[in-house]
Amino acid sequence: MTWHFRNDGVLRSCCLLAAIGLLAFRPQASTSAASARIWLGHEAAMESHLRTASVDSLEAIGTGVTRPRRAHLSPATPFASLVWKPLPPGKRSGHWESYKSEIAAYELDKQLELRMIPPAVERQIGRDTGAAIMWLEGIRSVKQLGGKVPSGPAWDKPIRRMLTFDNLIGNPDRNAGNILVGPPGELILIDHSRAFTTSRDLVRKIERVDGDLWDRITSIAPADLSSTLQPWMDSDAVSAVLWRRERMIADVDTLVKKNGAAHVIIR
């Protein structure tokens, strides 16, 4: 199984000959063994910097349908910039969008120990309230690296995790521009403002899941999941997350009965 993008940039899957599917994608960003996820183990400090650092200037990023901006910070450590998304909850051009979804995605990432989403907090800049998200220097997206999702054994686990997480949060907007590529086996996921809709549909067909992440998704108590999400969305959106989880469990159970657990829940 390899993953590609439609002309509109949205992720889709297609089966190819094994010889093609095994061709390794070699992103330039993976030449270094150092992790690109520099926030891991320092989340509290990064979140504090996002909330309290002074904003020296704001500039348009020039990419992204939600028109995020880059804020330059003082002090410039532990990082010098943040992504600023002051998107009040609502529909725009037919799509649900909310800055609160960015924060909910990060908080859920922490709860599930996904470790793929940069820190995001709520703050005010000027008269606007929005999501302040850690800016990562020197990390390029799949789009910037040619448009193909990385393939090969090192990438199987993070891709499975990405697809499973997108199903849980109902994220219809995974595309080549919001998957960042780090060292081999390391994907960073950004741009979740369109996630957490009230739709109960799964955005991806389930074929396999990562066993460790799957255990955490299925074992977390509904009350604990709701507690994480309720500050950022209404009860209908929280209920939709819980409903999608049940749909995912049912689909995985069906696949396990058909193909066996070892072929579906990968450990």
**How confident is the model over 4-43, as pLDDT tens digits?**
555 555 666 543 222 222 223 333 333 446 899 999 999 9
Which pLDDT does position 14 carry in this prediction?
Answer: 43
* Segment 206-225, tens digit of pLDDT: 999 999 999 999 999 999 99
Is the pLDDT at 120 greater than 70, yes or no? yes
How many separate helices (H) and strands (E) can be counted in the chain?
Answer: 8, 14
Confidence of residue 238 (pLDDT cuts 50, 70, 90): very high
Comparing CA positions, the residue from 215, 213, 209, 163 lying closest to residue 189 is 163
Q: How many residues does the chain have?
A: 267
Q: Give Cα 55 distance to the centre of its chain.
A: 25
Which pLDDT does position 64 carry in this prediction?
Answer: 58
Comparing 3 with 129, the larger pLDDT belongs to 129
Distance CA 238, CA 101 (A): 11
Is the pLDDT at 66 greater than 80, yes or no? no
DSSP sequence for 38-82: TTTT-HHHHHHHHHHSEEEEEEE-S-STT--EEEEEES--S-SEE
Which pLDDT does position 93 carry in this prediction?
Answer: 85
* Segment 132-181, tens digit of pLDDT: 999 999 999 999 999 988 999 999 999 999 999 999 999 999 999 999 99
Q: Is the pTM of this model over 0.75?
A: yes
Confidence of residue 1 (pLDDT cuts 50, 70, 90): low
Question: In whole numbers, what is the pLDDT of the chain averaged over residues?
Answer: 89
Which pLDDT does position 8 carry in this prediction?
Answer: 55
Domain parsing of the chain, residue ranges: 2-266
**Cis amide linkage into residue 78, ω under 30° from 0:** yes
* Segment 79-96, tens digit of pLDDT: 999 999 999 999 988 899
